[in-house]
Structure formats: C-alpha cells, structure tokens
Chain A
Amino acid sequence: MAATQQKSKPTKKSCPFDRTGVRYLDYKDFPTLKPYIDYFGNIRKRYYSGLCLKHQKLLKNAVERARFMGVLAYRK
C-alpha cells in the first residue's frame, strides 16, 4: 500500500490590503483589481481572494464601477 501523504496544516490567509493599510480601492487602478478577477470576468470569492470582508466589499464596489466605465468586462 502506498504511504499516505502528509498534508500541511491549513493556515488562515491574511488580507494583503490589510498589511499595506489600504483604505480605498480605485476603479481606475486596473493592475490592483486584475488579480481578483477570474478568466470569465467574475470577482473571485473571498475564500480564493483571501481578502477581509471590508476590502472584499471595497473591491466589489471598485470592480462594478470599472465595469460600468468599460475598464473591465462584465463577462468574457
């Protein structure tokens, strides 16, 4: 029988915006928004993005504004 693979313990992700003290996410700032959007143009879930609730809400706001102004696509 194959030896069972030992998994590392799950660790809690820390919010990258919390670490840098971000207070506002700008809808015009494409490079900061891009990593939190998947291939189809959807906003990544908090489970995957690793953001805190406050910054996830700011992100949602920024992405929706960017979509309205044609900076980001609604759906690819």
Chain B
Amino acid sequence: MSNFINSSIGKKLIMSISGLFLIVFLLVHLTANLFLLGGSDAFNLSAHFMGTNPVIQIMQPVLALGFLFHIVYSLIVQFKNWASRPVKYAKVNQKEASTWVSRNMIWLGIFVLAFLTLHILNFYWKLQFGEIGTVVVNGEKMENAYALVAGLFTEGGTLAYIYSGIYIIGFIALGLHLHHALWSSFQTIGWSNIKWRKILTVIGDIYAILIAVGFSIIPIYFLFIR
C-alpha cells in the first residue's frame, strides 16, 4: 500500500480523487449561493440550512481534508516535476503541443488558493467567529448571511467594485483551472480513451463555464441589477 501511495500514479490518484471531490463541492456551493438571487429570505434560509444540517456539518472537516490533500500533494508532485529537469531549455515552444492552462495548473491553483483565503476571511470566518446581525425568517431566528454578502459587494463605494473585481477574476482563474481538471482527473483514474476524452473534455468545459459564470453572476447582480 505504501508503495502505491508513494508511486507517481498513486500521488496523482490522490490529486484526482480530492479534485473530483472539490468539483462536487463547488456544485453544492453554487446551488446554495444562487438562492442569493431569490432575495434575503431565500438565501438566509439556504445558509441556515447549510449551517445546521448534520450532513453538512460532518462534511465540513472532510472538505477541509479534501483541500489539504489536493494542495499538499500538488506541491509534492510539482517539486518532483521541477527537479526532473535540472537544466532548463533555453527555448521552449509548446503553443501547438499543449494548452496554456494545462501547463500552468500550479499557478492557477496557487492563485485560486490566495483567492480562497480572502474568501474565507470575508465570509466563513465572519459567520463562525464574527458578530453578524440576526434576522427572523418564518418565525425562526437566524444569522443575516444575506446582509453580509450584499454588504461586501455594495457597501464602501469603490471598495465594493474592487471586491467584485477580485471575485470575478478569482472565478475566471477557477474556471480555467477546472477546464483542465475534470478530464485530467478521469484520465488519471484510467477512465478515459480516445472517445471518452472528447466527451469528458466537453463536459469539463461546460462545468468550468457553469462554475465561473454561475459564481460571477452574484457580484454582478449585487453591483448592477439589484
């Protein structure tokens, strides 16, 4: 077993499984977030459900582990990859051979991680440890998560535009990361061939666009539509 986990394919399998887990998480996250478009009560109910549902509570530490494995193993794999070419080429031209995204997954990932840190400080941290106003929906008292989101993207004049901009750029980087992610994780598990590669890359692109556009709608909605 340790031979397997320490092998190149074993390490990549950890990247792949943790990545697929995060892919599923993003869908759940997006679904919960889109209730923002339904107004204050709808989103507060959705956030309250996510905050109190026992399944979600159990999944929270699992999710943290998923991120941890994906990040730690990406670095382990990447450092080995850099070490495999001690002397670099003076000239490299890979325009025709591979996509920019597939070559820069580590940098897109690091960018997304930086964005994730900001995102956790903006919302999760405040919800867990900060002072959030409460609101009563359907006779039940709950945290006013809607006001927190609306506040970030509308209050503070220029600051709201800066935050919206950062979030949209973060979502674009995430979308680009996902463009290579889905097909690549299936390939690593071995569930791909010439035919399925085409299908999986199309599904991966649809998914990547769904995530990038779906999340970007939120700051755009608060800034320009609401």
Whether chains A and B associate is no
Seen from chain B, the residues whose Cβ lies within 8 Å of a Cβ on chain A are: none
